[in-house]
Amino acid sequence: MANPFYTSEHEAFREVMRRFVAREIEPYAHQWDEEGEFPRELYAKASEIGLLGLGFPEEYGGIAADQFMRIVASQELARAGAGGVSSSLMSHTIGSPPIARAARPEVKARVLPEVLAGKKISALAITEPSGGSDVANLRTKARRDGDHYVVSGEKTFITSGMRADYLTVAVRTGGEGPGGVSLLLIEGSTPGLSRTRLKKMGWWASDTATLHFDECRVPVENLIGEEGQGFKIIMQNFNSERMGMAASCTAYARICLDEAIAYAKERKTFGKPIAQHQVIRHKIVDMAQKVAASQAMLEMLAWRLGQGESPVAEICMMKNQATQTMAHCASEAVQIFGGAGFMRGVKVERIYREVKVNAIGGGTEEIMKDLASRQMGL
């Protein structure tokens, strides 16, 4: 049965994405994970198929895209089962929207075309060692000194942190609370900026880092939006980030389901394929049920966003629904694989390692529940 949410244009892009992932990512996913990075050339290749430009202004090399085009992109990228590659390759989708939305025209013209062409890497730097989602109380300071801001402080858990050429950084330019937060575009070559690579449970191919700002001088024209308006701009990022994560997590869950079905038909115990054992069939049906429910919720929310709604509570719940579905399906897939699922190099093992970063990143499950309950008037 055809899905009513996807047009022939969506499906054509899906085929382009599927060929790209099969050719350029999937054969190398395990190797890149072990090496801890992937070639920078992949950015330019992703730009050539229109992936990097989705949703950005056409005047800077972007391509008009609705919510369903974004879902297609996220879910087809996930087919490689390589979250580290996807997260860094697409780090500009959280690093560059504030630039496109609120930076000065000359900054947009200088930065966005290079990023969308895959020539430069963009990253977002919000989280600090003292706190993650508590953006209103961040401590990194930027004091005005003539025609520059002088930035001092630290950011951590920054995706693409080691290689990013452009960093969209939340800083405190004023007093306490959200009204004192601003956004600055800081170039990766800025004197006083140093970076420390972080070793992680998953996403090994992603260059996650702690950033150290030691009296970094940043031109005033690199201010994104107005001084003291950074918190509002950051909040505008969250709906799209969480929808993207939900789409990816639902896709990773589906991959675990598909891999488990294929393995269960092939692997034999007690004289028959394990797919013929009732306990395995029940596990697979439970997985399929959760994936279908998550995908349906995701697509309905995408439709509502397209109608101009802003269903914040439901998006928060969607993010939790998707990460919980991914956790369940990854765990059950590894269980079905048995010892083979514990070996590095198979998709289900890699996805299992990446469950927690999705449940934490973009707002933890606990924060999502709290935000949703507030939106519900509780």
Buried b (16+ CB within 10 A) or exposed e, 261-296: bebbeeeeeeeeebbeeeebeebbeebbebbeebbe
C-beta of residue 194 within 8 angstroms of C-beta of residue 214? yes
3-state secondary structure the chain: CCCCCCCHHHHHHHHHHHHHHHHHCHHHHHHHHHHCCCCCHHHHHHHHCCCCCECCCHHHCCECCCHHHHHHHHHHHHHHCCHHHHHHHCCHHHHCHHHHHHCCHHHHHHHHHHHHCCCCCEEEECCECCECCCHHHCCCEEEEECCEEEEEEEEEEECCCCCCCEEEEEEECCCCCHHHEEEEEEECCCCCEEEEECCCCCCCCCCCEEEEEEEEEEEHHHEECCCCCHHHHHHHHHHHHHHHHHHHHHHHHHHHHHHHHHHHHHCEECCEEHHHCHHHHHHHHHHHHHHHHHHHHHHHHHHHHHCCCCCHHHHHHHHHHHHHHHHHHHHHHHHHHHHHHHCCCCHHHHHHHCHHHHHHCCCCHHHHHHHHHHHCCC
- Active site positions, annotated: 241
CB neighbour class for 219 (10 Å; exposed up to 12, middle 13-18, buried from 19): middle
Residue with tokens 């992109």: 73
Q: Which of 11, 10, 6, 20 is nearest to 80 (CA)?
A: 20
